[in-house]
Amino acid sequence: MRVLLVNTVAAMGGAEWSLLELAAALGRKGLTVEVACPEGALAQRLRASGLAVRTLPVVRLTRPRPFRPSSMLPWFRLPVARRALRRIVRQGHPDCVHANSLAAMLVAAPAVGAAPLLWHVRDLALAPAAARWSARRARFCLAISPAVEQRLRGLLPQSLQSKVRLVMNGIALERFADLPERHEARRRLGLPADVPLAGMLAHLVPWKRHDLFLAAAARVVQAVPAAHFAIAGEDLFREHAGYLQALTEACAREGLAGRMHWIGAVDRPEIYLRALDVLAHPAGDEPFGRAICEAMAAGTAVAAADAAGPGDLVLHETTGLLTPPGEVAGLAAAICRLLSEPALRQRLCDRAAERVRAKFDVERTAGEVAAVYGECDSSSSPASSRRSRSSRASRSATAPSS
């Protein structure tokens, strides 16, 4: 089966890391995988993994704002991207087109012709009209977590409910097979070796709630005076210029100067996570929680908000600690407990690693996605099947370039 994955941004966010690892895993299962995406970091990583890439224009849609003409510019790129994707589909004749986001779905739906179209639903913040429009045009909608599945089902009429499939997101576990010891991971990052260390791994955007982490850190210091803290991540799309400044000012106000380490973007998140004793994840509306999964695989204890994706990932007191969303005191207490009780930390980490291997391996995700592709193939209409057979027969004359 020939699959075309579609992504409309070039930078490496969580959805792009997931696409990269899923595409490689699908290839290992014998599928022929191509990815249509803009030139940039994602395309480079895909090619480095041996995957074929076809170039699309960038389309990153934001809600139009009154008196802000610039907010409309991405919407004007939609027709251009659709024309480009239509050419790619005509040349490549995929048996299935797989849109990796809502924006990718808005590009792909008018452009794929008779090919079955899947929508990978990776967001909680879904506009009802856009969700219904997309679901009507998709053969199936793949939700990455129970939280996303619940949100999507709540937006769709009964007639579209049968299209929804829960396919839990996964991570490539081979990245965690030979990690350095914690002291070596800290040395590589320039972090202090012999201190209790809690940190965050998240893009520098307000909804990730770094402010809660800073406020909790100020409380943690009172109970664990030797504690240090770290924040890794960046403002990926350069949309929150004042946010980092506000955080650094809050850090100074909370008396954390000298013990807060700003790491910036990390190329290998597993090394950073290995350096931490505790990963804090205070976001209350996280669709999945990829950083949490990675921390569990890296042998790092997790304190996360008991909401949305993290509430599904973490089993409280078994694979990590869950805290009331938005509550500083609860987050601080969980971090203090994990920093102060090595035996608890080790017990939770051992069980967390087992859970990741059993539930969140990208190989399992790829198997479930491939099964949905099979449903697409078996549910194709006779006319569509004839078109598919005809297109496959003509591929040797219209083979695409990478």
pLDDT band, residue 401 (cuts 50/70/90): very low
CATH superfamily of domain region 173-359: Glycogen Phosphorylase B; (3.40.50.2000)
Residue extents of the structural domains in the chain = 2-170+361-396, 173-359
pLDDT band, residue 238 (cuts 50/70/90): confident
pLDDT band, residue 60 (cuts 50/70/90): confident
pLDDT at 387: 42
Torsion of CA 50, 95, 38, 84, to 10 degrees: 140
Domains 2-170+361-396 and 173-359 share a fold: yes
Residue among 115, 110, 71, 108 at smallest CA distance from 93: 115
- Give the tens place of pLDDT for each residue, 100-136: 999 999 999 999 999 999 999 999 999 999 999 999 9
Q: What is the mean pLDDT of the chain?
A: 91
Residue among 98, 140, 142, 167 at smallest CA distance from 376: 140
Residue 75 · residue 96 · CB < 8 Å: no
- Give the tens place of pLDDT for each residue, 66-102: 445 555 566 678 899 999 999 999 999 999 999 999 9
How many CB atoms within 10 Å of residue 207?
Answer: 12
Predicted TM-score (pTM) of this structure: 0.90
Q: In what order do the strands lie in the sheet with 260-264?
A: 260-264, 228-232, 197-201, 278-281, 301-305, 321-323
Residue 296 · residue 352 · CB < 8 Å: yes
> Residues 280, 285, 291, CA angle at the centre, nearest 5°?
40
In Å, how far are 35, 58, 73 from 77, measured between CA atoms? 19, 8, 7
List Cβ neighbours of 102 (8 Å cut-off, separation of 6 or more). 61, 119, 121, 123, 126, 130, 131, 134
Question: Is the pLDDT reported for residue 240 higher than 70?
Answer: yes
Torsion of CA 211, 12, 197, 221, to 10 degrees: -10
Average pLDDT estimate for 226-239 = 93
CATH architecture group of domain 2-170+361-396: 3-Layer(aba) Sandwich (3.40)
Question: Is the pLDDT reported for residue 400 higher than 80?
Answer: no
Which two tokens mark 228? Answer: 């240090």
